[in-house]
Structure 1
Amino acid sequence: MAWMFSSLLQVSLFCLAISGVSVSGATFSPVLPPSYPLAVRNPYLSAWVPGNQVANLATATPQFWQGQNLTWSVLARVGGTTYKLFGAPAALSSSVAATLMSAEYTSSHSVFTLAARDVATFTLDFFSPVSPKNYVRQSLPFSYLTVSVDAKTASKVQIYSDIDETWTGQSGATVSTFTKSGGVTLFQLSVNGAVQYSENARSQALWGQTILGAKASTGITITHGSGTPSAIRAEFASNGSLSNAAPAFATGNVVAISQGLGSITSGSVTFGIGYVREAAINYLGNARTGYYRAQYPDTLSALSFFFDDYADALSESKTSDSLLVQKAVAAAGTNYSDILLLTTRQAYGGSDLTIPNDTLNTSDIMVFLKEISSDGNVNTLDVLFPAFPIWYVMSPEYLRFLLEPILQYLETGRWKQPFAIHDIGTHYPNATGHDDQVEEDMPVEESGNLILLAYAYITATGNTAWGQDYLSIFTKYADYLVTGGLNEPVQLATNDCCGPLANQTNLAIKAAIALNAYGKLFGAENYSSVGLSFANQLFTNGLGLDSAKTHFKLQYGSNVTYGKDSDYAVVFNIFPDILFNLGTFPSSAFDMLASYYPTQQGQAGVPLDSRVDWSSTFWTHWAGAAGAKQTGGVEVRDMFIDNVWAFMTNGMNTPPFSDRWFAVPGSGGLIGGTGDVVGAFDTWRNRPVVGGHFAVLALDGPGQF
């Protein structure tokens, strides 16, 4: 049977992914992931290389997160011989492909070691800083590539890198600008006549500038060139340098930088790659820009600082990477650590840290998050909510920065509905609100999300004054939950692809916890009482349970479609009750769930509810964390983590960490299909919701880094 073959294939691939095991002569640490992050800083600087190409890194093709190919080549010349290190065409004449020895990823680095015959060893370190408490560093729209060499004998060594207009999002309208000043060599590629705040059909920005740069340092000779790939690469292969010519850019050209180290046995050079948008976000008709521009207002000065900051950024990353491994292993083991390391850059890389473009006022900080891969909305509440554990753990102030754009828009009164808004812009980077009241309504979902996110921020930081500033808004949506939280008309919830339903048990659980949280946060016992009453009806009185009281059903009450005893939902919304120690539901509810979830374990995981054949990486982490402290809870937590780890390492997928995969064979009765392949990813890629993987670590408290 096909599914049996698929299962056996997965098992064999799982074994290959174990840390330290050699695949095609190379080792992968901690595992071989679906895709390695290379330059991942924001929704438009997001370059990856599929894991199935890494064994042949010298000729691998990097990709934008959505899957389109990018040109980014790295060559080295040692003693007159040219070696392909990364992204080079297989047909490049007079060159030798270096052989991959090892590949490793941490929370901020992807590091590849290659052998150039028996002449030298090269290390490529793709480093995208994650520094959420250093707002300048975090907001810089650049990523590092450091190439290090260890030669057997002293030899002349030169390192080369090039890019082309695949990074600009449009072919045939590219303009190149070259600058050399203050030791910085800088190419900027842009789309001539691009409309501000516009994207192409595959989610690449059009109105900014792609940059490739380097900065002079002692003993390093920098040259540059532009032209056809064959001519420029041949020039480097012949001379170990470039002509320093930068003619007008033509379609198909590359821009390139070469760095010569002289005659050495060891050394390194660093390149910078980035995507700059001076007007980065359109917020209610006003431009916002990266925080860094308050200190470094132009690209040249920002890039110069970026290179000067390398040593400090590297030191910070080593400390943070090590601490994350330590904490994750202590919380739930090495599989959990492997997941969090791959999660971190992706979660932070979905956002822009901004200030006003006109005043550059650093006290007016807003973070904008793109709903990557699904529909491109701006600051979607049911994306912020599942992702919030990573910010809760690493940078609680981010929660306020993400909520400010939403709350300030709501404060204008332009959103007229009695429930919270879904997002503040149909498509990134246009955060222009929904004055026409047309959006993807999720009344209970988003009202509960807003209150619980506020609770997370205020309790993590102690900033009660901020809560008082927006008290009227939180009260409005708490009032909505009082009347609508347990009397739900047909509506969407966060997994909107499943369609609308009335009386969703998972939503009612969210309403109960949010009302209790609101009451505790603002000293309003009457709201907590309503929340506790909801919980009592759902669990103690059995409204939301099957007749044997073994699990929560998908829907509660009468006249529902999915209210049979066999129907269920992974009730991830119960997690905040444990995280915040609210006591909305009794411990027996969590014991019940810990006993029930293993009964739904399928071939490759637990389907998210009884309608579907797929599972969710972040929601199952929430469910595992919710029961982790209960009887049998550690086993259930580990089951969910191991399911995600198996999906991440099964060798069947190449997109940047998809958050959804097929857990069981599909059938006509499920929202899925008979052609769905167990273990394969389901549609989504590179979404910041993976921040929810930090749910188990969040149990150890906020602000751990």
Structure 2
Amino acid sequence: MKKTISFFAVLFFTAISLEGFAQSNVKVGGVKNELRAPAYPLINIDTYTSGWSMTDNLYDSSVKHWTGKDFPLVGALRVDGAVYRFMGTEDVPLMPIIGMGSSEEWIGSYTFQTPEKNWTSTSYDAKNWKQSKGAFGTKGESNVKTLWETEDIWVRREITLKEDYKNKKLYLKYSHDDDTEIYINGLEVVNTGNACKKNVLIEIPQNVAKTLKKGKNIITAHCKNRVGGGLLDFGINIEVPIVRHLNTTAIQKSVDVQATQTHYKFTCGNVDLDLTFMAPLLMNNLNLISRPVNYIDYTVTSNDGKTHDVAIYFEAAPNWALDEPSQLSTSTSFEKGNLAYVKTGSVSQKLLDKKSDDVRIDWGYFYLSGEKNKVKNAVGNPFELRSSFVKNGNVVLDKQAKNGNIAISESLGKVSKATSGKIMLGYDDIYSLQYFGENLRPYWNDKGNKTIETAFEEANTEYATLKSECNKFDDKLMSDAVKTGGKEYAELCVLAYRQSISAHKLVNAPNGELLFMSKENFSGGFINTVDVTYPSAPLYLYYNPELLKGMLNGIYYYSESGKWAKPYPAHDLGTYPIANGQVYGEDMPVEECGNVVILTAAIAKAEGNANYAKKHWNTLKIWAEFLSREGFDPANQLCTDDFAGHLARNTNLSMKAIVALGAYVQMANELGDKTEADKYALIAKEMVRKWMEMAKDGDHYALTFNDKGTWSQKYNLVWDKLLKLNLFPSSVYETEVKYYLTKQNEYGLPLDSRAKYTKSDWIMWTGVLSNDQSTFEKFIKPIHSFMNVTTDRVPMSDWYNTDSKKKVGFQARSVVGGYYLKMLEDKFNEKK
């Protein structure tokens, strides 16, 4: 049975007047979010269908996927024949003249042995090099035709140009993992240093472009694979000359991010436009969390007291349903029921075929939809679609197009007072995940007896009620967060809300259990990583613990089925979207064991009973025994901060083991297992005594038991406080917090004494160790400041430098759900 708590006893919305619709469409009240977000959430369905604005103004750049790849979504308003672009950009299309491995077969000469110094020159003799197809890389990397499993590879690719391109704008397109140098006709164009990116486009400098003559030329590259996957692929693109139609931009007046909505205000000549992106991710309705439909609603109002003829236009590129823009796609327009649709998808439709970090979905279909008695729908060449709208105020209907864009327009008629409308955007992924060999449909259609059109019809019918619910929810969340942690804390929480939820996918397991599976965005691409679940958990404990169970159920199943036979939990279940078992190359025994035990106790606290723990009690006994044996003085191993490297005798990891044992004791007492409770209570108490003695380092506690003169954030201690385990005395909290305040940099508290970078989720948890609001805000303000000024315009990074405006790595991860720990503390305290 689906565990759904519906908002609605009765859906009574059937029809409203245009004026009434306009009123329901406008957000009223609430506290405005003043934060200049690193990226603004627009479309948030899941980790694949994820659209963001990464500039201050919505029209300054293309809408992008969280990975940074373009997800073109263009919006324009026509006012009395003048057209104003309010969203996206009208980019010049690029055409490959030398394709990468994803679009054409190419042959390169290669060697794994360091060549002579002149290996990049056009005259170099590579007769002793091997020849094979590109791209080159390790197993599992996209479009790899030739395996490369050594540390270094050198590649030469002869290219034949059919004309002289010296006066044309050319772009090098390349994918690499890791350090890469690329040369064209012997001249260096790229030198990445330690980095890993796919399908990067850079303009080829004119001095290099001038060397590209008709006939034979040479591209050479060297790539070093430091660790993990390796990849090398490259080609050349050229600009296609076009006539732009949307040259005039609107004037953006404001943007306001709330939990489920992002509100924009524009002036378009004599008309004002209010535009809202709404993802109704209301967590006490799992059907709603899973339903893959978002909204864009709009209200236009005359700003000069006169009547104006107004029409609105939305257009999306096939990129939304492709991993790479060069893939073949097909687009279609049709009507069904009360709605008009345009959809696009890949020609190949290989279900669940790709698994990796920096990839996008290329199976299933992306849709735009509106009420058929209001909108016009069309597919085709984007410049022809735009030209039609500019000339006529609507789009010319085409039923089908290869590699075509999809568009919807609506004539709002003669406008003087507020007039509103909406479109819907959605994705039918058909199958979402593979779970131990079985392909699973999304939760909203787990039996396969619904259609995406049914989902759109439901979304359309429920819109007015959902709009009201989202407004109320957004206002309450912001208000509650302000009361809990201050305005800056609240602004970070609301920005984190959609980012965290949409980094998951909701499905039912074959045994009927809920699975809420995360993707470890830009930190490996793993699915259902335990040490990503751990920091993400507070958001879900606060709003719906069933979702946290959905994050743990697969991990418990993996152990209890015998598929994972070790006496501690796995690190992950695979690489998203394939969950067939751990793929991470190394276990994190104490880390993952402590995480699951603590979170199971937190579920018991949130629900007021230990029923979930009881279901898994035999497994928890095994894990508790492991922690009592191996947890106090951890051997050389990784913890969740694996980017910092291996560490032995880690005091924070030791603290996690101790707190986990205390949490286990609490659950044992609730279940009436006095034998277990008494046994581990004594063990935990002795561990605390030894920890305080061994970790003490003058005015603070050290990073490791044997390295004095070091320090680290003891963020794991926070669960002792929230669960009221009373393991560590208040003096430990006070000592650490006081010391941390002496170590803060401009943008926050470093993770530990080894480097100046930090993790924002852990700072949030460390701040909760304090006992007063003013101290908590001292930890929060630098995080807010960083997000407000960072030059990395991506969905919030949780790993960044405390002494610069730059992130180190990671973006768009679910771990920002950890920001809600302060709110969770208040909620737990209310349960007294």
TM-score bin (small chain) = 0.7 to 0.9
Once residues 523 and 409 of structure 2 are traced to their aligned partners in structure 1, the CA distance between those partners, rounded to angstroms, is: 39
- Among 272, 291, 297, the residue aligned to 1:140: 291
Shift of 1:438: 6.5
Q: Secondary structure at the match of 2:51?
A: strand
Once residues 423 and 136 of structure 1 are traced to their aligned partners in structure 2, the CA distance between those partners, rounded to angstroms, is: 26
Q: Is the 8 A contact 1:396 1:702 kept in 2?
A: no
Partner of 1:645: 784
Partner of 1:18: none
Partner of 1:17: none
- Among 429, 432, 437, the residue aligned to 2:580: 432
Q: Is the 8 A contact 1:32 1:51 kept in 2?
A: no
TM-score scaled by length of structure 2: 0.74
Q: Secondary structure at the match of 1:600?
A: coil
Q: Is the 8 A contact 1:293 1:302 kept in 2?
A: no
Partner of 1:660: 799
Partner of 1:36: 40
Shift of 1:63: 0.7
Partner of 1:419: 568
Shift of 1:94: 7.0
Partner of 1:532: 685
Partner of 2:827: 701
One-letter amino acid of the structure 1 residue matched with residue 487 of structure 2: T
- Among 204, 215, 220, the residue aligned to 2:371: 215
Deviations 1:156-209 (A, max 9, x none): 321111111221223231122333111211222111224321347732112221
Q: Secondary structure at the match of 2:665?
A: helix
The structure with the largest helix share of the pair is 1
- Among 591, 597, 602, the residue aligned to 1:445: 591
Q: Is the 8 A contact 2:332 2:344 kept in 1?
A: yes
Deviations 1:272-293 (A, max 9, x none): 2222212111111122222222
1:98 partnered with 2:253: no
Q: Is the 8 A contact 2:47 2:519 kept in 1?
A: yes
Partner of 2:746: 603
- Among 198, 221, 241, the residue aligned to 2:394: 241
Partner of 1:65: 66
Deviations 1:123-149 (A, max 9, x none): 111111221111111101121111211
Deviations 1:260-315 (A, max 9, x none): 22223231221122222121111111222222226971111111111222112211
Q: Is the 8 A contact 1:207 1:277 kept in 2?
A: yes
1:179 partnered with 2:334: yes
RMSD over equivalenced CA pairs, Å? 2.1
Deviations 1:534-565 (A, max 9, x none): 111111xx21121x2x21211114xxxxx12x
Shift of 1:626: 1.7
Q: Secondary structure at the match of 1:51?
A: coil
C-alpha change, 1:656 and 1:704, in structure 2 (3 Å) is: farther
Partner of 2:617: 471
- Among 577, 596, 602, the residue aligned to 2:720: 577
Partner of 1:314: 467
Task: Map residues 111-510 of structure 1 onto 2, 5 A cutoff.
Answer: 111-117=263-269, 119-151=270-302, 152-168=305-321, 169-170=323-324, 171-199=326-354, 202-216=358-372, 221-250=374-403, 253-265=404-416, 266-293=418-445, 297-355=450-508, 364-425=513-574, 427-434=575-582, 439-510=585-656
Deviations 1:82-140 (A, max 9, x none): 221211428733763211111111111111111112x1001111111221111111101
One-letter amino acid of the structure 2 residue matched with residue 277 of structure 1: D
Q: Secondary structure at the match of 2:301?
A: strand
Q: Which of structures 1 and 2 has the bigger CA Rg?
A: 2
Once residues 602 and 367 of structure 1 are traced to their aligned partners in structure 2, the CA distance between those partners, rounded to angstroms, is: 36
* Gaps in structure 2 of 5+ consecutive residues: 1-30, 92-242, 670-676
Once residues 498 and 172 of structure 1 are traced to their aligned partners in structure 2, the CA distance between those partners, rounded to angstroms, is: 38
Partner of 1:48: 52
Q: Secondary structure at the match of 2:534?
A: helix
Shift of 1:388: 0.8
- In the TM superposition, structure 1's runs of 4+ consecutive aligned residues that sit over 6 Å from their partners are none
Once residues 294 and 509 of structure 1 are traced to their aligned partners in structure 2, the CA distance between those partners, rounded to angstroms, is: 41
Q: Is the 8 A contact 2:527 2:572 kept in 1?
A: yes
Deviations 1:465-521 (A, max 9, x none): 321111111111111001001132111000001111111000110010100110110
Shift of 1:525: 2.0
Once residues 470 and 644 of structure 1 are traced to their aligned partners in structure 2, the CA distance between those partners, rounded to angstroms, is: 38
C-alpha change, 1:382 and 1:394, in structure 2 (3 Å) is: same
Q: Is the 8 A contact 1:159 1:269 kept in 2?
A: no
Shift of 1:213: 1.5
Shift of 1:379: 1.1
TM-score scaled by length of structure 1: 0.87
Q: Is the 8 A contact 2:601 2:663 kept in 1?
A: yes
Shift of 1:386: 0.8
Once residues 587 and 410 of structure 1 are traced to their aligned partners in structure 2, the CA distance between those partners, rounded to angstroms, is: 36
Partner of 1:107: 259
One-letter amino acid of the structure 1 residue matched with residue 290 of structure 2: S
Once residues 95 and 258 of structure 1 are traced to their aligned partners in structure 2, the CA distance between those partners, rounded to angstroms, is: 18
Once residues 722 and 334 of structure 2 are traced to their aligned partners in structure 1, the CA distance between those partners, rounded to angstroms, is: 52
Shift of 1:248: 2.5
Q: Secondary structure at the match of 1:661?
A: strand
Partner of 1:80: 81
One-letter amino acid of the structure 1 residue matched with residue 431 of structure 2: A
One-letter amino acid of the structure 1 residue matched with residue 328 of structure 2: A
One-letter amino acid of the structure 2 residue matched with residue 451 of structure 1: V
Shift of 1:28: 8.4
One-letter amino acid of the structure 2 residue matched with residue 392 of structure 1: L
Once residues 167 and 196 of structure 1 are traced to their aligned partners in structure 2, the CA distance between those partners, rounded to angstroms, is: 16
Q: Secondary structure at the match of 1:248?
A: strand
Q: Secondary structure at the match of 1:622?
A: helix
Identity within the alignment, %: 27
One-letter amino acid of the structure 2 residue matched with residue 202 of structure 1: D
Partner of 1:560: none
Partner of 1:682: 808
One-letter amino acid of the structure 2 residue matched with residue 684 of structure 1: F
Query: Which is worse superposed, 373-382 or 595-604?
Result: 595-604
Once residues 556 and 108 of structure 1 are traced to their aligned partners in structure 2, the CA distance between those partners, rounded to angstroms, is: 45
Q: Secondary structure at the match of 2:742?
A: helix
1:543 partnered with 2:687: no
Q: Secondary structure at the match of 1:231?
A: helix
Q: Is the 8 A contact 1:394 1:702 kept in 2?
A: no
